[in-house]
């Protein structure tokens, strides 16, 4: 099932994608279930929004693909390398990535995103699926020059608009055979099977939930494959994941 959050006629609602329509839900399905109102809205008449606004945090994993760790000039760390993006960095599909004047080098990082659906603390890897609400696509936009300059990554990763999410949450996603591809103005920059991830989604949830409690609506970005590169004003970035659609944003 594909869940969208959308605005239409001045109201924000959640809906289930049914071909060209949104079947309107009575509540946020993460908390209120999948009861429908009976109303349908053509997708073409709606504005899709970020499908989730993280309740407390976006948890990110750095260097979770060996070829990306290599292009960054090192080896992948033995354990997941965690950092956070603030929830104020989240934008939705087709929203603009605002390039901050504080940076001269802003790069795309297409990533699989996991949406947490229940309170998760010390979750074992074998139980991780039970705390997942669904999957979507993320772009871990990064000011590469500030990342190198600062040593720690809060500023480089945390600007407003630096976490596009969407277009929908798929509640039945399977990684089996799925690939991720990032394109800039149609040119393929990153392409990899999701099976190239070093630490699996289950391992990441276990590792992160041993550190801090994950709340419903928190999002995990699972790392980016090789091929990261700059985006400049006017560029359109598309991140596509098999079965999840395409997350498209233009930089300005
Ligand atoms: Mg990243």
Q: What is the pLDDT of residues 51-84, one digit of tens each?
A: 999 989 999 999 999 999 999 998 999 999 999 9
The Cα 63–Cα 77 span in angstroms is: 7
Q: Is the pLDDT of residue 22 over 90?
A: yes
pLDDT tens digits, one per residue of 112-134: 999 999 999 999 999 999 999 99
What is the structure's pLDDT at 55? 87
Domain 58-251 has CATH 3.40.50.300: no
Give 122 Cα–ligand 1 centroid separation in angstroms. Answer: 24
Q: Which residue has the higher pLDDT, 74 or 229?
A: 229
Phi/psi region, residue 201 (left: phi>0; alpha: psi -120 to 50; beta: rest), is alpha
Give 223 Cα–ligand 1 centroid separation in angstroms. Answer: 5
In the predicted model, what is the mean pLDDT of the chain?
97
The Cα 27–Cα 36 span in angstroms is: 8
Q: Where are the domains of the chain?
A: 2-48, 58-251
Grade residue 195 by pLDDT with cuts at 50, 70 and 90: very high
The Cα 251–Cα 62 span in angstroms is: 23
Give 3 Cα–ligand 1 centroid separation in angstroms. Answer: 24
Give 78 Cα–ligand 1 centroid separation in angstroms. Answer: 17
- Report pTM: 0.97
- Does this chain's domain 2-48 share its CATH topology with 58-251? no
Give 63 Cα–ligand 1 centroid separation in angstroms. Answer: 7
SS3 annotation, the chain: CEEEEEEECCEEEEEEEECCEEEEECCCHHHHCCCEEEEEEEHHHCEEECCCCCCCCEEEEECCEHHHHHHCCCCCCCCCEEEEECHHHEECCCCEECCCCCCCCEEECEEEEEEECCCECCCCHHHHHHHEEEEEEEECCEEHHHHHHHCCCHHHHHCCCCEEEEEEEECCCCCCCCEEEEEECCEEEEEEEHHHECCCHHHHHHHHHCCCCECCCCEEECCCCCCCEECCCCCEEEEEECCCEEEEEEEC
Q: Is the pLDDT of residue 40 over 90?
A: yes
- CATH architecture label of 2-48: Roll (2.30)
């Amino acid at each position: 099932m594909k869940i969208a959050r959308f605005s239409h006629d001045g109201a924000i609602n959640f809906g289930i994608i049914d071909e060209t329509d949104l079947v309107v839900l009575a509540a946020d399905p993460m908390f209120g279930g999948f009861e429908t109102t009976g109303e349908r809205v053509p997708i073409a008449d709606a504005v899709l929004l970020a499908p989730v606004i993280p309740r407390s945090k976006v948890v990110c994993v750095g260097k979770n693909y060996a070829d990306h760790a290599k292009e960054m000039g090192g080896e992948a760390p033995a354990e997941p390398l965690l950092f956070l993006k603030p929830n104020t960095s989240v934008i939705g599909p087709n929203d603009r990535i605002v390039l901050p004047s504080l940076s001269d080098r802003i790069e795309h990082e297409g990533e699989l995103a996991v949406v947490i659906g229940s309170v998760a603390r010390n979750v074992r890897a074998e139980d991780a699926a039970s705390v997942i609400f669904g999957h979507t696509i993320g772009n871990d936009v990064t000011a590469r020059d500030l990342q190198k300059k600062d040593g720690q990554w809060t500023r480089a990763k945390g600007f407003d608009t630096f976490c596009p999410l969407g277009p929908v949450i798929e509640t039945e996603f399977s990684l089996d055979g799925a690939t991720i591809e990032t394109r800039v103005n149609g040119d393929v920059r990153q392409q990899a099977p999701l099976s190239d991830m070093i630490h699996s989604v289950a391992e990441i949830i276990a590792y992160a939930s041993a550190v801090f409690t994950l709340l419903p609506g928190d999002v995990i970005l699972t790392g980016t494959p090789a091929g990261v590169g700059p985006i400049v004003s006017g560029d359109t970035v598309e991140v596509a994941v098999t079965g999840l659609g395409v997350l498209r944003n233009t930089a300005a």
